[in-house]
């Protein structure tokens, strides 16, 4: 990823899993300033003390408040919008909070970026936005539509709004692997929803690479996804058991509120507007206007002869392959070292 030299970069939720990793990634990129934007004052303080870098500014702000966003947007070149309520059960029980953060907050970020002449905004979405069955997916799908509807109103030379969409990021906050590790460490049963449930798996490093690809190649309203493997949740638990020589049993708990058995990363309708860019897909937005009359007479002549891109029909990792992926992650390496002490 290139192009950060001399730039001012705003990371919304700069203290989250993606944001924290991205700040570390940027440290040697000769940027002018990185602005860490979040509501988490404790994590901001911890990051500030750890980095001790005067070119990184910390702003305790709420993206749901437009004035709060405007205060830190002036002079920004690139915005990386990662803030969201991301836990499926939490969003199920507090859907209006999910709407305020994931939809209204996103609109605030992009409108502020446009009014301040920001060059590019990359917004982070999730596979749960495709055929959404829960409040998290619904609000993320709406976030995508907000970005694309705003994109349609912009002219050449204005802020470029694009998105990335990916599945489960390994070791992101609230994800399943840290929970499994905690249960293994405490010699408790590993609680699995359904053994055959599948999820896309993406290391944080590859999520950063996807965002960088979108930054370099994004056009108005584009969504970028990367070709990602998946795994059975039960096999993921077994791989962790093998790595740590654990005797913990795998206990099936049943599907939680709002969960799917399999996730969809790209719908078959989107695949019709996709472009293979070598490891990444560019999904162009539907740019038809509101003149529906012509579609009643002409219609869409494309015939859908494909299937959705799901965690069930993508490359499925075996237990040894899951172990190989996990053993390359710094969090697993650190956990194994701690086990040796």
Known catalytic residues are 128
Q: How many whole angstroms separate alpha carbon 199 and alpha carbon 310?
A: 9
Sheet with 198-202, side-by-side order of all strands: 168-169, 198-202, 230-232
For residue 201, the SS3 value is strand
Task: Give the phi and the psi of residue 200 in degrees, each rounded to 5.
Answer: -65, 145
Q: Is the Cβ–Cβ distance between 127 and 165 less than 8 Å? A: yes
Q: Strand 264-266 vs strand 120-126: parallel, antiparallel, or unpaired?
A: unpaired
Q: How many whole angstroms separate alpha carbon 110 and alpha carbon 150?
A: 8
Of 210, 239, 209, nearest to 222 by C-alpha is 210
Tokens of 45: 């303080």
Q: Strand 198-202 vs strand 230-232: parallel, antiparallel, or unpaired?
A: antiparallel
Using only C-alpha atoms, what is the Rg of the chain? 21
DSSP state of 246: -
Q: How many whole angstroms separate alpha carbon 76 and alpha carbon 337?
A: 41
Q: How many whole angstroms separate alpha carbon 205 and alpha carbon 171?
A: 11
């Amino acid at each position: 990823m290139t192009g950060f030299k001399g730039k001012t970069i705003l990371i919304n939720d700069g203290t989250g899993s993606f944001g924290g990793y991205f700040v570390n990634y940027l440290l040697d990129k000769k940027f002018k300033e990185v602005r860490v934007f979040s509501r988490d004052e404790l994590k901001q303080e911890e990051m500030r003390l750890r980095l001790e870098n005067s070119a990184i500014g910390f702003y305790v702000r709420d993206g749901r408040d437009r004035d709060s966003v405007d205060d830190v947007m002036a002079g920004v070149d690139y915005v990386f919008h990662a803030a969201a309520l991301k836990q499926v059960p939490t969003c199920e029980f507090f859907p209006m909070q999910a709407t305020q953060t994931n939809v209204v907050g996103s609109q605030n970020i992009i409108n502020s970026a446009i009014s301040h002449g920001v060059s590019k905004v990359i917004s982070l979405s999730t596979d749960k936005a495709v055929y959404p069955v829960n409040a998290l997916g619904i609000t993320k799908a709406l976030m995508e539509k907000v970005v694309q509807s705003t994109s349609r109103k912009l002219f050449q030379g204005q802020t470029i709004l694009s998105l990335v969409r990916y599945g489960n990021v390994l070791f992101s906050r609230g994800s399943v692997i840290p929970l499994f590790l905690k249960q293994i460490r405490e010699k408790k049963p590993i609680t699995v929803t359904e053994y055959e449930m599948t999820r896309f798996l993406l290391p944080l490093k590859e999520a950063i690479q996807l965002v960088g690809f979108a930054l370099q190649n994004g056009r108005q309203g584009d969504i970028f996804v990367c070709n990602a493997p998946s795994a059975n949740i039960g096999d993921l638990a077994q791989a962790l058991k093998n790595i740590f020589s654990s005797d913990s049993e795998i206990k099936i708990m049943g599907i939680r509120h709002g969960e799917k058995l399999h996730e969809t990363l790209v719908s078959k309708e989107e695949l019709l507007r996709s472009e293979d860019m070598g490891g990444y897909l560019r999904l162009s937005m539907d740019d038809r206007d509101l003149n529906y009359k012509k579609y009643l007479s002409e219609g869409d002549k494309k015939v859908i002869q494909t299937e959705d891109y799901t965690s069930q029909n993508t490359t499925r990792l075996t237990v040894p392959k899951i172990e190989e992926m996990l053993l390359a992650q710094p969090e697993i390496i650190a956990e194994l070292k701690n086990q040796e002490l």
